Amino acid sequence: MDQIAAAIGAFREATGEAYPVWLSALVPDYLPDDVLLVCPADEAGGDSLATRAQDPGLSVSYLYELSPSSYEARRSQIRQLGGIVPIVRCLHHVHVPLSAHLGDDVTEGEVTLSIGEGLRVYAGIPEWRTDPRAITRLYDDIRRGIAERDAVSLERHPFGVMKLLSLEQLAGIREAIGAADADDSYTAMGAYQKLAGAYYTHMNRRADAMDRYERARAALPSNAEVRFALGVLHGQAGDSERSVGAFEEGLRLQPDTVDISMTLAQHYARDGRQDDLNRVYALLRSHFRRESLGHNYALGTVAYLADDMQVSREAFERVLGLVPRGTPASSGMPRQAIRRLASIYERQGDRLGANVLLASLDAGMRQIGELAPEIRGVSASGRPVALEDYAGQVTVVTFWRSDNGASRAQLAYLESLRQLLDGGFLTFAVNVAPPDMREREALYATGSIPGPAVFDARDAARAYAVVTVPSAVLVDRAGVIRYRHIGHAPEDERDFERRVRELIADEPGGRRPNE
């Protein structure tokens, strides 16, 4: 593995590229013999033990974490977590106790041999995010980098590293930052200010984090990571204009960052900036990697926003083909891809196909066409509330809790949509938080939900087969379930509005809302 690490280093120096497409691409220019790609412990003579990353060029024993299907996800982890992220791993030693490699007091667990982003070979446990040795090395390197003003070392530690540290280690970082801040020579040191920004971000001290990242921005004019961090922080603060500006600046510095392209496209679509949306769409397509899971997901999302339904459909279908075998359909990326595909199928006239797809995520789809189950509970003030009290109205029954960001976003969206459609439907908001959160939930509902907010409806979620929060169920004036929607994202809103408009207009005696 030392020779493979050296070969990747030679590849980087010769090509200017960070990673080869596959490890087999290192042979023969950077690795003289393909036998070096086969681990002596590999009895099969070339099995990575991971079906998602079998090298197509040669027999390779090592799991290459930057293979095309995993490239963008792993690269994103490297941007967030830095050198602790393995790029090559050997899984053929998991039967060997960790202590046999470390020779110290760490005596439990199994081992993988790995090559990190810094091209150093090390032994650690398979779940690298919780490897105590790797995290201790990370912590020690940060402390040393601050103490020695080692900008090159500090530059290697991106914004996500703090989430890996223990409370005791975070206290040590706070102590090191305090000592450095007393020395004026650190003020203009961009790498240090970036590291301090990462610490304050993790500690939820947003104003301090913004201040540090702004200092780093001035000192590091070519650092895209600083701009991306500022984009996130400004977005959390509700400053959309500055958030978009920071993301745009970062994307100019690092134009192949597809997750940022996707974030910007969502902003532009929400603000009606079609020309900017089309520009980002074109940029994304120019850097597109067809075999990358992350690239296909981003392309599908941005093409959907740009109304290029055929490209979006093909990209999301590739996502489902690239997802590792055995991944549940309900997990993050497959779930979103299925939802988008269902929307596209419907827009292309295949409502049956859309419902079949959605049924793989939501067992409650079978309730479409049936009478909505009754819901009984109490209001925030304790007054009895029942769904039947609002019979004869188009109703969105939504299942929510205030500590869920998507729930809050959906409730705000439903109210803005209700106003847009002149009050053409009712929001019936069923709270699903645990009873011990009742006081907080009631306080939130009183200030944020204008329609009926229902508590203590203990059997409602089961009756509606709700497993995801938020979930919205569209009920017509006759009390029949006509549509179900799980989760909430900005790009869902246009289709949801279309569904509501159709339902209001199609109802006998219904008035057609303003177009």
Residue 158 scores a pLDDT above 80: no
Beta strands at 395-400 and 426-431: parallel, antiparallel or unpaired: parallel
Residue 510 scores a pLDDT above 60: no
What is the mean pLDDT of the segment spanning 344-368? 85
* Average pLDDT score, the chain: 85
pLDDT single digits (tens) 210-219: 999 999 999 9
| Amino acid identity at 344 | I
Topology annotation, domain 369-506: Glutaredoxin (3.40.30)
Domains 182-351 and 369-506 in one fold: no
d(C-alpha 50, C-alpha 199), whole Å: 35
What is the mean pLDDT of the segment spanning 242-260? 92
Q: Which residue has the higher pLDDT, 414 or 112?
A: 414
d(C-alpha 479, C-alpha 394), whole Å: 8
Range in 15-19, 162-166, 339-343, 361-365 the model is least confident about:
361-365
Tabulate helix, strand, coil % of the chain (nearest 5). Answer: 55, 10, 35
Residue 105 scores a pLDDT above 70: no
Q: Which two tokens stand for residue 356?
A: 């079949």
User: CB burial class (10 A; 0-12, 13-18, 19+) of residue 380?
Assistant: buried
d(C-alpha 90, C-alpha 92), whole Å: 6
Q: What are phi and psi of 293, to 5 degrees?
A: -60, -50
d(C-alpha 496, C-alpha 483), whole Å: 10
Q: What pLDDT does 98 receive?
A: 43
Give 130's pLDDT tier (boundaries 50, 70, 90). Answer: low
What is the mean pLDDT of the segment spanning 441-449? 86
What is the mean pLDDT of the segment spanning 317-337? 77
Give 508's pLDDT tier (boundaries 50, 70, 90). Answer: low
d(C-alpha 335, C-alpha 486), whole Å: 10
DSSP letter for 97, please: B
What is the mean pLDDT of the segment spanning 173-201? 94
Residue 203 scores a pLDDT above 60: yes
Q: What pLDDT does 375 receive?
A: 96
d(C-alpha 116, C-alpha 118), whole Å: 5
Range in 102-106, 350-354, 484-488 the model is least confident about:
102-106
Q: What pLDDT does 106 receive?
A: 41
Give 129's pLDDT tier (boundaries 50, 70, 90). Answer: low
pLDDT single digits (tens) 358-380: 888 788 888 989 999 999 999 98
Residue 18 scores a pLDDT above 90: no
Domain residue ranges in the chain: 2-130, 182-351, 369-506
Residue 99 scores a pLDDT above 50: no
DSSP letter for 292, please: -
Q: Which residue has the higher pLDDT, 109 or 424?
A: 424
Q: Which two tokens stand for residue 372?
A: 């909505």
pLDDT single digits (tens) 32-78: 988 889 888 887 787 777 655 678 888 888 888 887 767 766 776 77
pLDDT single digits (tens) 54-63: 788 888 888 8
d(C-alpha 512, C-alpha 507), whole Å: 9
Each residue of 278-315: b (16+ CB within 10 Å) or e? bebbebbeeeebeebbbbbbbbbbbbbbbebbebbbbb
Residue 461 scores a pLDDT above 60: yes
Residue 515 scores a pLDDT above 50: no
Give yes or no for a contact between 427 and 412, defined as CB atoms under 8 angstroms apart.
no
Q: Which two tokens stand for residue 241?
A: 């204009």
Range in 114-128, 177-191, 338-352 the model is least confident about:
114-128
Q: What angle (nearest 5°) sits at the alpha carbon of residue 410, between those of residues 408 and 415?
A: 100
Task: Dump strand ranges (E) for 331-457.
Answer: 376-378, 384-386, 395-400, 426-431, 453-454
Q: What pLDDT does 107 receive?
A: 42
d(C-alpha 425, C-alpha 486), whole Å: 19
Give yes or no for a contact between 439 and 402, defined as CB atoms under 8 angstroms apart.
no
- As a residue count, the chain comes to 515
**DSSP 3-state of 394:** coil
CATH number for 182-351 (one of 3.30.70.1290, 1.25.40.10, 1.20.1080.10, 3.40.50.10470): it is: 1.25.40.10
Residue 159 scores a pLDDT above 80: no
Q: What pLDDT does 195 receive?
A: 93
Residue with tokens 């745009």: 248
